[in-house]
Amino acid sequence: MTCSACSAKIEDAIGQLNGVARVTVALPFNQATVAYDESKMTPTDLINAIEELGYEAQPGRRSIQESLKIMQHEDDLQRLQKSFSGVLTYSLFLASTNMLASYSYLATTTTHEYRFKWTIPLIELALFLRIQHRHASHIHHAASRALRTGQTTMDTLTSATQAISLLSSLSNLLLLGPSAPTHFTTAALLLLVVLFGRYVDLHLRRNAMSTLTSLFRLQSDLAHVRVRQKRRRDKDAEEVLPAALLRPGDEMVIEPFDSVPCDAYVLDGESLLDLSVITGEPLPVAKSAGDFILSGSRNSHGRLLAAVVKGQEESTLAAMLDGVVEAAGRKADVEGTFGGLVRIFVAVIMGLATASAMVEHARAKSGMSEAHAMNKAAQRAMAVLAAACPCALGLAIPSAMLAFLDAASSQGVLLTGGAQSIEALTDITHVVLDKTGTLTQGRLQVTACKLFHPLPVERRVFLQLLCAAEVTEAEAHPIAKAVFAWAVKELRAVGYRPISDEHVFERRAVPGSGVECVVGTGGNTSHQVVVGNANFLVSHGVEVCMKEEGRWAEDYGITIHIAVDAQYVAQLRLSVSLKASPQPHHSAKTVLKDTHDWKQTRWSKS
């Protein structure tokens, strides 16, 4: 595909098939996503519909390497570079023969001179045919495939221009002799301009996707990882395995300056992680035991031992890549309008070229011979065809949208709605600002802990139970994340690790209230753990102490209550602060102050 006209034709063809519910075509990735009824059609039907349009298609997901190759336009750039170099060389030869022809005899007085004057046009014809065969064949093949399906593309205009120049030049030579004007050099130079324009366009499109390409390259770089084998007698034994084989609970080693292949939490070690590719934050973030780390982030100097929470296919980076592809396939309303124009643009240009040629022929025929009139008509048709380029119109909006998505991604903003989200920005009436992690620091912190004795279990076991209860919710929920990180660090201080998630049963999380589960601690021993707000514990028959919560209320923080085996055992106090920034105009206080000038209604969501 070369422009939005191509993607629009494919969407129309697939959308008309019986059983297709939805189809989106992402032009930058040359990828179509189709939702269909398997009882009414098969993937073969989809492939046949696409191939009837002259395109090639394969079912299934592309590998990261294949996606990178398409985003970088490696094959297209190599072909265009080779074609451009070849056409440039042959064009120089054509220009040289024209200069030689200008010094030839103007009159044919002998047979030898007449043969010499035919030599130059024949050499030009041979060079021109060589150009068409070696360096423009892909254009002619694409145009012929489109015509066989009743379609017209940019290749149709370019191919028609070359064909008209060849036919008109041959007609002039046959009717007017070797001294007749030809269009070989003009057509070759026009082809040179077209190839150069496409080469520059692909380079600009590749540069516009630089940040998005870096995300895909990250996934490509994370092919293998060092894994600690827990089932061996030697617990420190390590081996290198494909990252795609990692599953939740596996322990992986992240060496200095390596990237994180999967979402995980740190078991041991301390280091700084660069999250700039994922979040756009320029400063590295300190990570230690209990902290969650995202796939795609890059480690700095420290060595980390981490437990996998999500496999590579379900990781944050994989979700971002899927969101990027989905966003690229969503069309803006204005793109749909221009897409309709692009579909008929080539046909209109062909009609204008034909009409202008006919008018020019009728006007020139009254004052000159038929051969000269046909030559004038051909020149006029070539001028119209050469000046028209539908891909500039078809690529302008998709390229602009893609550049915006790439720039937003580099600042840590991922627009999953693609072009539709960009258009919706003009109609905003309400602005909802996420409080935790956006206006405030990126995470809550446990600032105080109150234990109620006697504890039904040892303090070490209590911390392990707390880790087991919060490990699943901690990846996404800021409160659970703070509690889990605190518990892991407390365990590490006494030389213990969290209990594996496989020993947790009957987990039930209630949004906005808390979580309950049963945790096995070895043998036949297990404990019921309830973590949440006061009402959540009361609903489980636990008598909650509200005295400490009342005293802590002055801190404007959050109190978390914990019960083990229906016995109230602890309170945790969590608090946050407004986010600061080295750049004053990026701080939370400055942003909140600036929003007073907006006309939109502002909400803060915690």
Using one digit for the tens of pLDDT, what is the confidence trace for 254-277? Answer: 888 888 888 999 998 988 888 876
Quick one: pLDDT band at residue 580, thresholds 50, 70, 90?
low
Token pair in block for residue 545: 């102490």
Quick one: pLDDT band at residue 355, thresholds 50, 70, 90?
very high
> Which CATH code is given to the segment(s) 223-325?
2.70.150.10
pLDDT exceeds cutoff 60 at 600: no
Mean pLDDT within 102-116: 53
User: Per mean pLDDT, which range of 175-184, 245-254, 432-441, 493-502 is the poorest?
Assistant: 432-441
- The pLDDT, as a whole number, for residue 66 is 74
- The pLDDT, as a whole number, for residue 486 is 92
pLDDT exceeds cutoff 50 at 105: no
Greater pLDDT, 510 or 604 = 510
Query: At 127, which amino acid appears?
Result: L
pLDDT exceeds cutoff 70 at 553: no
- The pLDDT, as a whole number, for residue 572 is 92
CA distance 579 to 589: 8
CA distance 269 to 471: 18
Q: Are residues 501 and 472 in contact, defined by beta-carbon separation less than 8 angstroms?
A: yes
- Partners of 224 in beta bridges: 242
Token pair in block for residue 309: 């929470």
Please tell me whether residue 22 adopts helix, strand or coil conformation. Answer: strand
pLDDT exceeds cutoff 80 at 92: yes
- The pLDDT, as a whole number, for residue 107 is 44
Tens of pLDDT, residues 36-81: 888 888 888 888 888 887 788 888 777 667 777 777 777 888 888 8
**SS3 assignment for 258-317:** CECCCCEEEEECCEEEECHHHHCCCCCEEECCCCEECCCCEECCCCEEEEECCCHHHCHH
- For 547, residues 6+ apart whose C-beta sits below 8 A from its C-beta are none
Mean pLDDT within 204-215: 69
CA angle centred on 452, ends 446 and 453, rounded to 5°? 135
Q: Are residues 183 and 382 in contact, defined by beta-carbon separation less than 8 angstroms?
A: yes
- The pLDDT, as a whole number, for residue 299 is 86
Average pLDDT over the chain, rounded to whole?
Answer: 78
> Rounded to an integer, what is the distance from CA 237 to the centroid of its chain?
38
User: Per mean pLDDT, which range of 89-98, 383-392, 443-452 is the poorest?
Assistant: 383-392
User: Per mean pLDDT, which range of 248-257, 298-307, 472-481, 553-562 is the poorest?
Assistant: 553-562
Model pTM above 0.75? no
Mean pLDDT within 248-257: 86
Query: At 274, which amino acid appears?
Result: D
CA angle centred on 32, ends 26 and 36, rounded to 5°? 140
Mean pLDDT within 165-171: 89
Greater pLDDT, 170 or 150 = 170
pLDDT exceeds cutoff 70 at 475: yes
- Pinpoint the residues of the chain covered by CATH 2.70.150.10: 223-325
| Continuous segment of H or E residues that includes residue 510 | strand 504-510
Which architecture characterizes domain 4-54 according to CATH? Answer: 2-Layer Sandwich (3.30)
Quick one: pLDDT band at residue 561, thresholds 50, 70, 90?
very high
- Strand-pair category, 251-254 with 292-293: unpaired
Distances in Å between the alpha carbon of 410 and those of 360, 413, 442, 579?
54, 7, 19, 20
Q: Mean pLDDT: which of 120-134, 216-230, 268-282 is highest?
A: 120-134
Q: Count Cβ atoms below 10 Å from residue 41 Cβ, excluding itself.
A: 16
User: Per mean pLDDT, which range of 186-190, 224-228, 357-361 is the poorest?
Assistant: 224-228
| 586 backbone dihedrals φ, ψ, rounded to 5° | -100, -5
288: closest CA among 448, 491, 562?
491
Greater pLDDT, 332 or 229 = 229
- The pLDDT, as a whole number, for residue 108 is 46
| 526 backbone dihedrals φ, ψ, rounded to 5° | -150, 160
- Pinpoint the residues of the chain covered by CATH 3.30.70.100: 4-54
Q: Which long-range contacts (CB under 8 A, 24 or more apart) does 27-31 make?
A: 27/1, 27/3, 27/328, 27/398, 28/71, 28/205, 28/209, 28/328, 28/398, 28/402, 29/67, 29/70, 29/71, 29/325, 29/328, 30/1, 30/70, 31/62, 31/325, 31/329
Mean pLDDT within 332-348: 65
Token pair in block for residue 492: 């590490």
pLDDT exceeds cutoff 80 at 27: no
- For 379, residues 6+ apart whose C-beta sits below 8 A from its C-beta are 168, 183, 360
pLDDT exceeds cutoff 60 at 513: yes
Check residue 436 and give left, alpha or beta (phi > 0: left; psi -120 to 50: alpha): beta
Token pair in block for residue 279: 């979040």
Q: Count Cβ atoms below 10 Å from residue 316 Cβ, excluding itself.
A: 19
> Which CATH code is given to the segment(s) 440-578?
3.40.1110.10
Greater pLDDT, 279 or 513 = 513
pLDDT exceeds cutoff 50 at 122: yes
pLDDT exceeds cutoff 70 at 419: no
Mean pLDDT within 513-523: 88
Q: Which long-range contacts (CB under 8 A, 24 or more apart) does 520-528 make?
A: 521/457, 521/461, 521/464, 521/465, 527/456, 527/457, 527/461, 527/465, 527/564, 527/565, 528/564, 528/565, 528/566
- Pinpoint the residues of the chain covered by CATH 3.40.1110.10: 440-578
- The pLDDT, as a whole number, for residue 443 is 62
pLDDT exceeds cutoff 70 at 222: no
pLDDT exceeds cutoff 60 at 112: no
